[in-house]
Structure 1
Amino acid sequence: MTGQKAPLVRPPTKEELVLPLVNVRLAKADIRLSFPDYRSYEREWDYRHDVFSVSGGHRLYRQFVDDEQSGGRLFGHWGQTVPKRLRRHLTINGEHVFEYDYQGMQAALAYDLVGEEAPPGDPYDIPGYGKLRRDDFKACFTSAIGADQHNPNHNLMSAFSHAVKKQTGSWLQEGEAERMADAFWEYHAPLNELAGTQAWRQLQLKESQLMLKVLAHLEEEGVTAIPIHDAALVPISQERILKRAMMRARCELDNHVSVHPAKWMPDAFPHLF
């Protein structure tokens, strides 16, 4: 039933066989989060519900929605819930973490879904706006592919505005959502057909298949990793192995989607790069 969680009654697929191995490695690893100050700790405490925002267990699992062709992302480990601003304070076996993600993954997969070639560069760097609005345009896209056009309460502009408010804390100015949406969909005209179709279900399925490949390559190398959607965290000494694993996994995709790993550099260690 929709809205209820239930275990899958089936053996793991070939690509899922790596998960028990990854979970054993995660269980043995010494993974810690050290808050830089008390204020940072207090910020993550939900006083309304008396719970800590960083939560979860020590094992990964795949989570589908409605059926096995929808979603499939990896969840379950508490390290995945650490806000990005605090990830630099995570350590794995005494080492600070390094993160790579696939830049523009959802948009790249969307172009493959409609059988078109994506424009070069960052898909959220829309001409005339600059990189400062990147996250806003990403919200424009993700809110559109998450919407259901058959829902009578469906409103793309409202969903976009609320997504920006959630990530920035501020509302867009009057008429700004419409102007930005027009610019985005004009630039990405081939993707218009996906707006309001809940295409996220197929995109997340393909993304999760890719990340299982990444984990399999890292497991072969004996590397402890925490996946976060289209990204992964590894000990900082394993940065090159992670990049190589992500490139190999990308090349193994049957549709050869053009996405490339982009590194996130911990502010505390700029001298290492």
Structure 2
Amino acid sequence: MDQIASLIATSDDEDDERDRPLNAYRFASSDNAKGIVAEAIRSLLNYEHRSGLTRNKRRAADQETFDLTVDAILSDLMHHHLVDYPGGIYVTRSNRHLGTKSRYRPRAYSKVFPRILDLLAKPELGYVRQDTAPPIPGASKSTVIRPGPTLLSRMDDGDIETSDLDEHPHGETIILKRVKDADDYWDEGGLEQYADTPTTERYRHELAAINQWLAAADLGYDALGIPWPHTSFDIDDRRLRRVFTQARFTSGGRMFGGFWQQLRKHERRQGLKIGGEKAVELDYGQVGARILYGMAGHLPATGDLYSMPGYNQQRDGIKKVMSAMIFAERRLDRFPKDTRDLFRKADRIGEVVDAIEAKHPLIKDHFHKGLGHDAQFIESSILVDVLLDLRAKGIVALPIHDAVMVPSSKVLVTKETMLTVFKAHARVEGTVTVED
């Protein structure tokens, strides 16, 4: 996946601790941090002059981009080191992506980005260590970078802390992903350019209001009693973005971002505090299946939608297979990824699909029609309206796809709000579970 696309990449694996994308909006905000960046810029310019790499002085606009890029790289590396994230930071060196005009690309990502990175990584300068990806067809084109010895030394000398670093106002918060090429195994779906409409402007305005509200929220975290390992995070990382899929704004639309989404379930449920209170998670139950019933114009079956005769111990597997059936465009002929172990050895996917269809005859014709992204759009719209309603009530809520976390004293009013908003969008009754 290229770096510009991977700026909005996400994972459903809460224990995933891979390298992270560069935050190209980071900058040095204190005098000590600014001094490190300024010294690095002087060192790079002197190196270029001594080595004969530049003959003419850069134009003012080009020098401004140069300085901003150095600042972004070093500041994010310093932040990454201070927060003690596992792994490194990955970036792109692709001229095709860096040289193409895009609403998604930060200013620091330009055609000169690889050149600046190489200068910072010169052994004589030692600000960056970089591991360049090998030119293997189909493999990732990302380069992984880490702080070099010079940068680490300057950080120690300046007693740099996360408070010495800040972020510029981010770029695009309304992300549109293109349709993946079904014939290309390596295609992970890039970003789609689009022209703004009243709809996209409304989405952006709604998210800006939510982000401003969350930025000012009183959030805390207490790791006492939470078993190791602990997830590294920055409590000021609160900015959300909506990611739409299938190259249309009626598909997907889930909100991603915010440090609480990085935490494992037990960490956020045990350690997260809102307004000094314990944060409690409220989840929509059976959300995809219930929304599909609403799309079909029928009321959901009574009871647990994932409870199947003959599969009493396989509920988790039934839930995942049913979700796959909603997203799939053709009948499943094998167990979806990571679901086979949730069933007995004698179970066959065809029999499982038959059992689900028998349980839900009213929506049988809506399975295997690729409606998952449409259902997810309804889900995401529900969550946006829940947040806006709670904001109007003065209740801070942190979204996690089909759930929210709120102060423990606000559980009842939040549950009532969630049920009301769900019915308005899905046209069927929802269920909400309070998770301990």
- Coarse TM-score class (shorter-chain normalised): 0.7 to 0.9
Q: Choose from 233, 238, 250 the match for 1:69.
A: 250
1:142 CA drift (Å): 1.0
Q: Secondary structure of the equivalent of 1:135?
A: helix
Change (3 A) 1:17 1:249: farther
Question: 1:58-85: per-residue Cα shift (whole Å, max 9, x none)?
Answer: 1122110121121111112221232223
Q: Choose from 411, 420, 430 the match for 1:239.
A: 411
When structure 1 is superposed on structure 2, of 67-76 and 109-118 the one drifting more is 109-118
Q: Which amino acid in structure 2 is aligned with residue 39 of structure 1?
A: W
Q: Choose from 322, 325, 334 the match for 1:157.
A: 334
Q: Which amino acid in structure 2 is aligned with residue 98 of structure 1?
A: V
How does 1:56-205 map onto structure 2 within 5 Å? Answer: 57-65=237-245, 66-88=247-269, 89-130=271-312, 132-149=313-330, 155-159=332-336, 162-164=337-339, 170=341, 172-178=343-349, 179-205=351-377
Question: 1:200-230: per-residue Cα shift (whole Å, max 9, x none)?
Answer: 1110111111112211210111111111122
- Corresponding position: 1:28 with 2:234: no
Q: Secondary structure of the equivalent of 1:157?
A: coil
Q: Secondary structure of the equivalent of 2:428?
A: coil
Q: Which amino acid in structure 1 is aligned with residue 346 of structure 2?
A: G
What is the rounded CA distance, in whole Å, between the counterparts of 2:285 and 2:300 in structure 1?
A: 13
What is the rounded CA distance, in whole Å, between the counterparts of 1:83 and 1:74 in structure 2?
A: 17
Change (3 A) 1:9 1:82: farther
Report which structure shows greater RCO (CA 8 Å, sep ≥6): 1
Q: Which has the higher helix share?
A: 1
**TM-score after normalising by structure 2:** 0.50
**TM-score after normalising by structure 1:** 0.77
Q: Secondary structure of the equivalent of 2:410?
A: helix
Structure 1 vs Structure 2 CA RMSD: 2.8
Q: Which amino acid in structure 2 is aligned with residue 157 of structure 1?
A: R
1:93 CA drift (Å): 2.9
1:163 CA drift (Å): 3.4
Change (3 A) 1:67 1:53: farther
What is the rounded CA distance, in whole Å, between the counterparts of 1:125 and 1:82 in structure 2?
A: 29
What is the rounded CA distance, in whole Å, between the counterparts of 1:226 and 1:128 in structure 2?
A: 38
What is the rounded CA distance, in whole Å, between the counterparts of 2:306 and 2:359 in structure 1?
A: 10
Give ranges in structure 1 of 5+ residues lacking alignment.
45-51, 267-273
What is the rounded CA distance, in whole Å, between the counterparts of 1:54 and 1:111 in structure 2?
A: 40
How does 1:2-17 map onto structure 2 within 5 Å? Answer: 2=179, 3-5=189-191, 9-10=195-196, 11=198, 12=200, 14=202, 17=205
Q: Secondary structure of the equivalent of 1:173?
A: coil
Give the conservation status (yes or no) of the 8 Å contact 2:252–2:374.
yes
Structure whose CA Rg is larger? 2
Give the conservation status (yes or no) of the 8 Å contact 2:423–2:430.
no
1:257 — aligned with what? 428
Change (3 A) 1:119 1:5: same
